[in-house]
Structure 1
Amino acid sequence: MRYAPALLAVIAACAAPALAGPSAPPETPVRPVTDTYHGVTVTDPYRWLEDWSDPAVKAWSDAQNEYARAYLDKLPHRDEIRRRLTALLSAPVTRWSDLHEAGGRLFARVNKPPKQQPYIAVMDSADAPGTARTVLDPETFDAAGSFSIDWYAPSPDGSLVAASLSRGGSESGDLYIIETDTGRRVGDVIERVNGGTAGGSLAWFPDGSGFYYARYPRAGERPEKDMLFYVDVYKHTIGSPPEDDTYEIGRDFPKIGEIELKTDNKTGRVICTVQDGDGGEFAHFVRRPGGRWDRVCGFKDGVTEAYFGESGAIYLISNADAPRGKVLRLDPEQPALENARLLIPESDGTIVSNFWGPQSLVEAGGRILVQYQVGGPSEIRIYDLEGNPIGKPETPPVSAVGQMTPTKAGVLFSLSTYTRPTSWMRYDPESGETAPTALHADAPADLTGVTVLREYATSKDGTKIPVNIMVPPGVTRTGDNPCILSGYGGYGISLTPYYSAARADLLEQGVIYAIANIRGGGEYGEAWHRAGNLTNKQNVFDDFQAAA
């Protein structure tokens, strides 16, 4: 059943007499507030609304809510819309993410409504989801309170799982070690390993006897005002009390430093990457097996990511003189940036940078897989160990590649489109073939009949702006159809193709949905980002207007 008139009322604000509520919204008084910044006087007539402690502001907000409810509550088909959205968003669809192979088994974070929190499961392989069993469920973890999983890392042999758990909706995580086969807790809890200002990270020793981890200061280590900053790296041995953990690196890092750790399971070397806040500047360090930390590069050197390859080499993703990214290769015995050599030069695509996220470069089976952003959609490009291009795994034309996970059977990678939920594929480096696995999310609504078009608008300065257009089946583009256009241009964030159950309801009612990849995002690299920030911010609005 379609209820397009109601949707038109909602998304196009086509008010009809039958829906009439109050004739006009409550008035907003003008109360100028004047400030002087560097000799420039700025007057804001509505800044007084920022003071939430002012009873007049609360009264204004209540009046606005009452006005909105008087209109929205009278919309025809409102109950049908609500029921359909509830069904779509609460559908018992299993979603698999954050995959790691360890000890010949596959670990995953699983989201499965009606459960309110994702949980950690282990299975035989991506082809056997029926063997999955729960390792850690935050909803049943402790009767003393509600928990959520911040992040997790299985030990190299898969016998243990380290997980940061936050209580009561906070981001203040403590570290728990769980025995995979029994769910039993091992050792003491390590406090303050995750937080809202710097997240958290952990890297296991190759033999699984301990790990390196980042944590916030404990009482007495920093002044009270700095307890949510200055994250350092420590070394922990399983079975020993956290008080015996030894400091590794971090005391000279920035106050708002954010740390990511990685281990080479063959040599025991560790990469420590620190980001200076959220500004996109990174420094990288390598710990030798003997314990010495070497600086690879500093914050101004333009290296965004550092990874170990299965060969032991260190791969660097650099934006220095290459705003779309290039790949450098570094000998771990001489891990200084000046010793790196160019392996993969800058190209027409943008190498994805995923601090705290999945690796955007994987070396497996004598091949190097690199994730590229191509204006919104993304793809994997494959190279040999000398940086020569080989090809790409087969993927749909407007799709997004997510996490890449090396396994003994090949490299798993997630794949999403606007019309199909995330599924997991496997690339075989030896044969070059790509095939689906059994890990996929069922669609709560069938959108396979939706046509996805990728067109380009011309912005005010002549720049071509990609627009991804989803056209429902049976709808002809006449210019008179109800349509929603969305976009985001900031912080280098890329809008990539993904399936949305909430968006499905609109498409079912014949509404065209469009997403613009405007400047300020990262769809075409750092130059695209900078073309939409600071003094170039006007380009963001010009791009969106052009897309409309």
Structure 2
Amino acid sequence: MTTETPVPVAKRVPSERTHHGDTVVDEYAWLAAKDDPETIAHLTAENAHTEARTAHLAELRNTLFEETRRRTQETDLSVPTRKGDHWYYTRTVEGQQYGVHCRRAVRDGETDPPVSVDGAPLDGEEVLLDGNLLAEGHDFFSLGAFDVSPDGRWLAYSTDFSGDERFTLRVKDLTTGEVLADEVPGTFYGTAWSADASVLFYVTVDDAWRPHRVWRHRIGTPSTEDVVVHQEDDERFWVGVELTRSEKFVLIDIHSKITSEVLVIPAGNPTGEPASVAPRRQGVEYSVEHHGHRFLILHNDDAEDFALAYTSADAPGDWVPLIPHTPGTRLESVDAFADHLVVSLRTNGLTGLRVLPVGGGDGHDIDFPEPLYSVGLDSNPEYRTRQVRLRYASLVAPESVYDYDLVTRELTLRRRKPVLPGPDGREYDPADYEQHRDWALADDGTRVPISLVCRAGTPRDGSAPCVIYGYGSYEASMDPWFSVARLSLLDRGVVFAVAHVRGGGELGRRWYDQGKMLAKKNTFTDFVACARHLVKSGWTSADRLVARGASAGGLLMGAVANLAPDAFAGVVAQVPFVDPLTSILDPSLPLTVTEWEEWGNPLDDPEVYAYMKSYAPYENVAAVDYPAILAVTSLNDTRVLYHEPAKWIARLRAVAPQGDYLLKTEMGAGHGGPSGRYDSWREEAFVNAWILDRLGAA
């Protein structure tokens, strides 16, 4: 095993930047030149170094991969969802990387979804798209849009073969199987059909990858004849498009981080002018759901954790209260069905669902017995229905699909994702594991929740190895989730913990606000407090604790490595946002301007500049003893550019050369890493093998 460290190319002249009287030298700015052969050579050398340094883990990586594969039912079929006259579902086939998207006609008297035997195709199946065929000849494949027209004839779908999330949109005639000549490159997520399926709406991005235009395309015509329906010129805002469940309106959602506006177009008049439901007001967010004669409005106007109101669909005006604001109960979305509303919410750090009958009567919450869980609505395309599809999971309960009768309140389990016997041949039993909710005390006295899962009987004497995971940005909540790959850690005695730090949304909008802008450091100190708490309470010890996070959670990893390097034995930072100041100072980069309401605008505000510089991981690398660090990135990532972790690792080596730092770059993938399921399992096995090695639990 070699321990040679690749030396970053040094012949380039360092770049300088000056802002607010502060001049900064960036020795590794040249790595941002993606098309430069020297950059590719550097990343290739880093990959070779990482492979050499981890060569001793090859057998363990293969073992972990095989454990995930063995526990997974590879030939499988999702619970079919009804839309119109068909059941829609996705199949996977053993040995194939991608899903096969299918449908089958609803038969006379059929009310319950059809059931497959061992994941076999349903009798009468029609294959709509086979991801494996589409992916042939490509190292990467991702499906963006998958949208069947209201009449069931057309399928709008889009594909990405590089990982940069720029998709080519196509239309398939499901009656003939023909893919039309209609083709639109460079599209974003989101499509919507007109009522008669003659028109398709879609979204494109600007040079900074900001979704800014909604287009109207008439089926059977060249894309050069497409019409811009809405163009958003305010660079703080992005746009999206969707068809309401009622199929009566096309919604154009215009949103910044703190302000929104919704435009509507009658689906029966797709060439009509978009009309605003309510003009945008700075700091007011709202979303719209159509229900009969009214638009339901979920909003935060004088309602920090949001309230529900409605207005006329014919002439939108004043908002009439429906569910008042309740501090501490965050209303997240509302789904309208003909006779019921279902409100998705969270309270006390847990997700929940509340059912409201339209014709009067008391609403009710759907109850679940576990102390920690995650529940939400699944795909529910039918407007006139008395059943809704739910998806449920916990740290110990595999993902489960339920149908809930809105009238009788009966919960029917349709399917629990199988977990096949592990290496010892034993069936998976949730009783073999424990999940807990613990609380750490932050520096300012705030109680920070921690979710934990471990093997039953794991000692609390500090001897157990532990992984602590965190994110803490964008109001994204790290709700409990089940992972087959995680079982390989738990069965080796590892405790898995999730730190629900401020900046996330677990405890409502205030929890988010206390971890953004000029309060961002709370995210980092909360995470350190959680790590210290796990040691103090006997869950683990600092030399047996590895921190892990991705994207904005990768920023968290870089920050806590600087803040408390002694608290961890290792740090895994995946697609990490570790050079945020440089990126947020450049308005031409993807996402920058839209992010100013999340981080602040350091370009114009000296206070924001100084604050971001004080915590940005790349800016604050110091000559200290860092824990071992594994950074994983992707060359075609649009959200967090590959050069951020590449520069970070290079600077760590230069400033603190005694440390153990590895960089692994996927040369043909994007923000989510490898696209095929087997490739994703191998990537997870690589990371988990490194973690187990650091924890001494391999």
TM norm structure 1: 0.78
Contact 1:174 1:189 (8 Å CA) reproduced: no
- The 1:169–1:47 alpha-carbon spacing in structure 2 relative to 1, beyond 3 Å, is closer
Mapped to 2, the partners of 1:62 and 1:232 lie a distance apart of 39
Greater relative contact order structure (CA < 8 Å, 6+ sep):
2
Shift of 1:37: 1.6
Mapped to 2, the partners of 1:384 and 1:450 lie a distance apart of 38
| Residue matched to 2:518 | 535
Mapped to 1, the partners of 2:64 and 2:78 lie a distance apart of 26
> Aligned to 1:368, which of 310, 318, 341?
341
Shift of 1:287: 2.0
Shift of 1:496: 1.4
Matched, 1:441 2:414: no
SS at match of 2:475: coil
Matched, 1:402 2:396: no
| Residue matched to 2:146 | 152
SS at match of 2:525: helix
| Residue matched to 1:284 | 262
Shift of 1:373: 2.9
Mapped to 1, the partners of 2:7 and 2:159 lie a distance apart of 46
Contact 1:193 1:213 (8 Å CA) reproduced: no
Matched, 1:484 2:484: no
- The 1:383–1:56 alpha-carbon spacing in structure 2 relative to 1, beyond 3 Å, is same
- Please tell me the residue identity of whatever aligns with 2:261: A
CA root-mean-square deviation: 3.8
| Residue matched to 2:287 | 305
Shift of 1:233: 2.8
| Residue matched to 2:537 | none
Identity of aligned residues (%): 21
Deviations 1:54-80 (A, max 9, x none): 9998898788767655553335xx514
| Residue matched to 2:675 | none
Matched, 1:129 2:115: yes
Deviations 1:437-462 (A, max 9, x none): 14x42124526121110111111111
SS at match of 1:115: coil
Contact 2:80 2:88 (8 Å CA) reproduced: yes
- The 1:521–1:101 alpha-carbon spacing in structure 2 relative to 1, beyond 3 Å, is same
Mapped to 1, the partners of 2:353 and 2:128 lie a distance apart of 31
Shift of 1:273: 1.3
Contact 1:93 1:443 (8 Å CA) reproduced: no
Shift of 1:85: 2.5
Question: How many residues are paired up?
Answer: 497
- The 1:122–1:374 alpha-carbon spacing in structure 2 relative to 1, beyond 3 Å, is farther
Mapped to 2, the partners of 1:29 and 1:148 lie a distance apart of 34
For residues 86-485 of structure 1, the aligned pairs below 5 Å read: 86-89=66-69, 91-93=72-74, 101-111=82-92, 114-123=95-104, 124=106, 127-130=113-116, 131=122, 133=125, 134-141=127-134, 148-167=142-161, 169=163, 171-180=165-174, 184-185=177-178, 187-192=180-185, 194-195=187-188, 199-205=189-195, 208-216=196-204, 230-236=212-218, 238=219, 240-242=220-222, 247=227, 249-254=229-234, 257-263=238-244, 265=246, 268-276=248-256, 279-288=257-266, 291-300=272-281, 302-309=284-291, 311-336=292-317, 339-347=318-326, 348-352=328-332, 360-364=333-337, 366-374=339-347, 376-385=349-358, 390-395=363-368, 396-406=370-380, 407=382, 408=385, 410-438=387-415, 440-444=416-420, 446=428, 448=430, 449-485=432-468
Mapped to 2, the partners of 1:247 and 1:271 lie a distance apart of 17
- Please tell me the residue identity of whatever aligns with 1:484: V
- The 1:261–1:193 alpha-carbon spacing in structure 2 relative to 1, beyond 3 Å, is farther
SS at match of 2:325: coil
Contact 1:259 1:272 (8 Å CA) reproduced: yes
| Residue matched to 1:513 | 496
Contact 1:136 1:183 (8 Å CA) reproduced: no
Deviations 1:120-163 (A, max 9, x none): 22245763132373321132259787854212122224343322
> Aligned to 1:73, which of 55, 60, 63?
55
Shift of 1:202: 1.7
Gaps of 5+ in 1: 1-19, 353-359
Shift of 1:543: 0.6
| Residue matched to 2:18 | 36
Contact 2:194 2:250 (8 Å CA) reproduced: no
Mapped to 2, the partners of 1:34 and 1:324 lie a distance apart of 43
Mapped to 1, the partners of 2:131 and 2:7 lie a distance apart of 47
- The 1:204–1:120 alpha-carbon spacing in structure 2 relative to 1, beyond 3 Å, is farther
SS at match of 1:241: coil
| Residue matched to 2:540 | none
Mapped to 2, the partners of 1:374 and 1:112 lie a distance apart of 39
Shift of 1:88: 0.3
Contact 2:339 2:359 (8 Å CA) reproduced: no
Contact 1:92 1:114 (8 Å CA) reproduced: no
Mapped to 2, the partners of 1:25 and 1:463 lie a distance apart of 42
- Please tell me the residue identity of whatever aligns with 1:489: G
Deviations 1:455-481 (A, max 9, x none): 111111111111001021231222221
Mapped to 2, the partners of 1:546 and 1:226 lie a distance apart of 37
TM norm structure 2: 0.63
Mapped to 1, the partners of 2:275 and 2:226 lie a distance apart of 18
Structure number with higher strand proportion: 1
- Please tell me the residue identity of whatever aligns with 1:103: G
SS at match of 1:231: strand
Contact 2:101 2:129 (8 Å CA) reproduced: yes
- The 1:264–1:67 alpha-carbon spacing in structure 2 relative to 1, beyond 3 Å, is closer
Shift of 1:349: 2.5
Mapped to 2, the partners of 1:97 and 1:202 lie a distance apart of 24
Gaps of 5+ in 2: 117-121, 423-427, 532-698
Mapped to 1, the partners of 2:50 and 2:135 lie a distance apart of 41
Shift of 1:25: 6.9
Deviations 1:465-503 (A, max 9, x none): 110010212312222211111111112221111111221
Shift of 1:303: 2.8
